[in-house]
Amino acid sequence: MATIGKDILKASQLLEQGKLVAIPTETVYGLGANALDTTAVAGIFRAKNRPTFDPLIIHTYSIEKAREYVTKFPPELEKLAEAYWPGPLTILLPKKNVVPDLVTSGSNNVAVRVPKHPLALQLLKGLYFPLAAPSANPFGYISPTKPEHVNKQLGNEVDYILDGGACEVGIESTIVGMEDGKVCIYRLGGLSIEQIEKIVGKVNLKINSSGDPTAPGQLKSHYSPIKKLVIGNVDELLKRYDNPGVLNFGDRNYDVYTYDLSRDADLTEAAANLFQGLRSLDESNVEVILTELLPEIGLGIAINDRLTRAAAEK
């Protein structure tokens, strides 16, 4: 198992040696490596058993630093960066040649983010390279929101886990880009559609669910527990399944093992608890996980996206 600690100098030295270090962000824990070192990046794909056609996000600490890795920063996307960086926003931009094709899965665009976590920012400011850092979990499984989650599932693959506590947002970043002069959302996440449209006006949704992703986190089956997840009317589903567990939202009670995302039906609290809830049920003695979609507003849209992908046939 990996060592868990708060030693930023140790994390920096390992990353400079081409090693893998799990880092905290406000969204989920990332599996970090030098984004400009192809060998180090290959280590991410190997450790996660992630297909190389699924691109990675690179992390840095400012808009100015991000410009070193992209050829163009459209004004609309720059406005979003100014409003929400650091934060749960990833921006898809044309890459410079310094960014290896392995990072972008051959695409001419690179996904860039400035995370809002003090330890992550301190680490990034001390490095001379950005970090490629997808979620620190085996490919397709539930994303980690605590250092212990990383150690349990990738402890033998990572060289150090930088302990930043529990993740505040709890679901991955929202990914945006430009097509035909219009801002597009490619992945729903910790920044709501309403928050984005407040800055740039109406946006297009390009939420892909296929085997040919244009941005990270777009595969149809993703964020999945090992146990089967079924979405529907929970009261009806309980009549059909033996030994079920329930992922619950709101003030309802069931006579089976239940994980409450938010008893107060708070979408922000539910997002922060989503992956922990799936993990708790997956590690319990239940045989199937039952849940319902949340209200399609604010973060509820991103939560439903994660639930739908988690329930997809593998």
Domains of the chain, earliest start first: 4-205 (3.90.870.10), 228-311 (3.40.50.11030)
pLDDT recorded at residue 70: 98
Report pLDDT digits (tens) over 143-163.
999 999 999 999 999 999 999
pLDDT recorded at residue 212: 55
The tokens for 155 are 């402890």
Grade residue 216 by pLDDT with cuts at 50, 70 and 90. Answer: confident
Grade residue 2 by pLDDT with cuts at 50, 70 and 90. Answer: very high
Kindly state the percentage of the chain with pLDDT values over 70: 95
pLDDT at 213 over 90: no
pLDDT at 314 over 90: no
Report pLDDT digits (tens) over 165-211.
999 999 999 999 999 999 999 999 999 999 999 999 999 998 865 55
Q: Are 7 and 23 in contact (CB under 8 A)?
A: no
pLDDT recorded at residue 249: 98
Long-range contacts of 39-45 (CB under 8 A, 24+ apart): 40/15, 40/132, 41/100, 41/102, 41/103, 41/132, 42/102, 43/18, 43/19, 44/20, 44/132, 44/134, 45/102
